[in-house]
């Protein structure tokens, strides 16, 4: 792999939009709300029906189980299935960052195509962001083969797809589709292609607990002599090949950045698509040059659970002794929440005067430690190396219990609102799970150069 090319700016949607409907496999009704997200956030699904609103990043490493009739991502026991149509739409429209709030475990299948998603997100408009967009590119082919399935990716300066389907079936034998991907081509030629299955598969799918929400309104059912749907006309002569291309595009966006390559797929499906995406990652590791670049890309996106020790903290924020008030920060949810820690020592310089013989940590310094934890959370993102976070206001500050030498402070911070130039955070400080202080902050993000 040549790795990552720095190109145009990243983009998110300009305004919120929503859709409701029934999931194809679960039959569950869900509401999906698409919301703008900050730069370097990526595509993330948020389960609003579960306590704590768990977040799942759309990536190959979060693919859950074997992807057969749809692609499922998960964190622990929390999953979201059949995400490929949404992901393909994001890829094609050039959406890098998006919050997807979903009220159940599967988005609506709608009419079996991605047309509604393309229409919704296209109508929401795109908002350009400060951070640079990154692409994955190749300098040598990547090939995945399993049985009769073969998928290849060749170096290219654009994303081109050639997709071939072939079945030993009297009605549906062989179809192909080729295109250079862009938003217009996708919306007109790929997004309208509907999902399909053969009539003999339905009983087996039902037996596996799948296709509970499937019907003739959201899937094409193919029989020996033709189509069972009342409206037997196809949207395209090669609609089946186009739909396979749609699914493959969506699955490839789980790489975490748009791929520039000429992809040639023969008899592909979700499981082979994911395995192919993983081959691209494995190939990058083996060639080392690409491994370095992919590694750099991943490093720019702090991971859930990533620990910032004191040295990493110093690389992220400008605070130093005697005003560095935190010892460790753990990113819980990228650009959303983190936990900071401070071991309160009897040698702290502020105890000399606060108070002699009765050492109590000043409440204002606890608030400062919460703020510094927030700074690590915000400034650890890609593109923030040359930024500073200035806190503009403090609201709802309360001090509930004294903090003394020997206590271990835990600062739980949550970003309530994040924009390119500022936002709002909330933080709570605990000792042994007892709340000792809390506050909300407004902050501004500025360039370091402007402050000189």
Task: Identify the CATH number of the domain in which residue 414 sits.
Answer: 3.10.129.10
Residue-level pLDDT at 296: 40
Rg (CA), the chain: 25
Same-domain status, 273 and 391? no
Same-domain status, 311 and 295? no
End-to-end CA distance of the chain: 39
Residue-level pLDDT at 445: 87
Measure the CA angle with vertex 224, ends 220 and 228; round to 5°: 35
The CATH code of the domain that includes 36 is 3.30.1700.10
Same-domain status, 130 and 217? yes
Same-domain status, 23 and 140? yes
- Give percent of the chain above pLDDT 70: 91
CA 184 to chain CA centroid, nearest Å: 24
Same-domain status, 45 and 117? yes
Residues classed as catalytic? 270, 354
Same-domain status, 131 and 211? yes
- The residues facing 47 across adjacent strands are 102
Return d(Cα 80, Cα 74) in angstroms, integer.
6
Final residue belonging to a domain, choices 299, 322, 347: 299
| Total count of domains within the chain | 2
Residue-level pLDDT at 382: 64
DSSP class of 63: B
Q: In the numeric block, which tokens belong to residue 203?
A: 């009983």
Residue-level pLDDT at 2: 46
Same-domain status, 84 and 207? yes
Final residue belonging to a domain, choices 299, 329, 353: 299
Tell me the whole-structure pTM to 2 decimals.
0.64
Q: Which portions of the chain are predicted below pLDDT 50?
A: 1-7, 284-300
Return d(Cα 214, Cα 289) in angstroms, integer.
45
Q: Going by DSSP bridges, is the β-strand pair 3-13/17-22 parallel, antiparallel, or unpaired? A: unpaired
Same-domain status, 277 and 415? no
Note down the domain range covering 171: 3-299
**Contact between 206 and 230 (Cβ < 8 Å):** no
Same-domain status, 216 and 69? yes
Same-domain status, 55 and 158? yes
Same-domain status, 312 and 248? no
Per-residue CA distances from 362 to 374, 405, 429, 440 (Å): 19, 12, 13, 18
Note the pLDDT tens digit of each residue in 10-64: 999 999 999 999 999 889 999 999 999 999 899 999 999 999 899 999 999 899 8
Final residue belonging to a domain, choices 299, 329, 350: 299
Same-domain status, 294 and 377? no
């Amino acid at each position: 792999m040549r790795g990552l090319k720095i190109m145009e700016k990243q983009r998110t949607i300009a305004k919120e939009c929503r859709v409701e409907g029934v999931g194809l496999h679960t039959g569950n009704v869900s509401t999906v709300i698409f919301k703008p997200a900050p730069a370097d956030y990526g595509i993330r699904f948020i389960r609003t029906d579960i306590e704590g609103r768990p977040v799942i990043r759309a990536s190959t490493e979060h693919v859950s189980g074997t992807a057969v009739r749809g692609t499922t991502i998960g964190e622990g026991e929390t999953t979201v299935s059949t995400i490929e149509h949404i992901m393909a739409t994001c890829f094609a429209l050039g959406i890098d960052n998006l919050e997807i709030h979903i009220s159940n475990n599967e988005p609506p299948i709608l009419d079996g195509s991605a047309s509604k998603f393309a229409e919704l997100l296209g109508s929401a408009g795109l908002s350009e962001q400060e951070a640079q967009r990154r692409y994955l590119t190749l300098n040598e082919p990547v090939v995945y083969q399993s049985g009769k399935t073969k998928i290849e990716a060749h170096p290219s300066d654009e994303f081109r797809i050639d997709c071939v389907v072939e079945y030993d079936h009297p009605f549906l034998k062989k179809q192909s589709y080729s295109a250079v991907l862009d938003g217009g081509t996708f919306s007109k030629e790929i997004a309208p292609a509907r999902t399909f299955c053969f009539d003999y598969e339905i009983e087996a799918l039902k037996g596996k607990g799948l296709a509970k929400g499937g019907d003739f309104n959201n899937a094409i059912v193919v029989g020996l002599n033709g189509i069972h749907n009342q409206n037997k006309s196809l949207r395209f002569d090669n609609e089946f090949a186009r739909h396979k291309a749609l699914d493959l595009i969506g699955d490839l966006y789980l790489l975490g950045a748009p791929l520039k390559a000429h992809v040639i797929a023969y008899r592909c499906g979700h499981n082979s698509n994911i395995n192919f995406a993983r081959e691209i990652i494995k190939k990058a590791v083996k060639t080392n040059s690409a491994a370095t670049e992919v590694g750099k890309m991943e490093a720019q996106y702090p991971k859930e659970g990533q620990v910032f020790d004191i040295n990493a903290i110093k690389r992220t924020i400008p605070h130093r002794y005697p005003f560095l008030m935190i010892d460790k920060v753990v990113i819980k949810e990228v650009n959303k929440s983190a936990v900071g820690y401070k071991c309160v020592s009897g040698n702290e310089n502020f105890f000399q005067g606060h108070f002699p013989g009765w050492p109590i940590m000043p409440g204002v310094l606890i608030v400062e430690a919460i703020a510094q934890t927030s700074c690590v959370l915000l400034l650890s993102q890609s593109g923030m190396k040359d930024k500073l976070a200035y806190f503009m206001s403090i609201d709802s500050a309360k001090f509930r219990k004294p903090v003394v030498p020997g206590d271990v402070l835990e600062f739980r911070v949550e970003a309530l609102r994040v924009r390119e130039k500022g936002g709002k955070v909330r933080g709570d400080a605990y000792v042994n799970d007892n709340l000792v202080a809390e506050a909300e902050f407004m902050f501004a993000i500025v360039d370091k150069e402007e402050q000189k």
